Amino acid sequence: MLSIICAVHNQLGMNRLFWRHLVAATRAPFELIVIDNASTDGSADFFESVGAQVVRNAQNHSYPFSQNQGLARAKHEWLGFLNNDIVVAPGWDTLLTQAALTHGLDVVTPCGVERLQTPAATRRLKRRWHAVRNALSPWGHTEANLERMHRWMYGNTLGGWAAFCQRRQRDFAGQVLQ
């Protein structure tokens, strides 16, 4: 089983999108430990409503402090430290634990879209993301608008993102960067 630790401060729309994709893409049973750093938009209530363990802080603590709070509550062998602004790939948890076991690693993290196969490919993807984000940002960071950004970036929300992830997994299966 997996303990997932995530620190948040507001961003309710992002948190809902994060949760929805986390549930859809995670294969192993997991507990979600949310460190809520004084959110005022209902984020802590949302995460509690979906069964996450929520630590409510009275102020916005640093990322390391928040992660240590989550570590103190984690119950499972595998730990996942995730930011709320990512959409995990289908089966992300299985891929990471398999990589850790195969390579004898104690700590692994996924390479996200911020590091593609070449610096030029990374720059192209970042330019595309900035164009999409800048075009849609005036409409705010609601869950619907964030979903729209993702769809514009990768195509159909499920098919486009899943296809992108499948290509990445095919091209880089088993590779570990140190």
pLDDT tens per residue, range 156-169: 655 787 888 888 88
25 has a pLDDT exceeding 70: yes
Predicted TM-score (pTM) of this structure: 0.84
Closest CA to 177 of 107, 75, 128: 107
| pLDDT of the residue at 177 | 66
95 has a pLDDT exceeding 70: yes
DSSP 41: S
Which stretches of the chain are DSSP H helices? 12-25, 43-49, 63-73, 92-103, 119-136, 143-154, 157-172
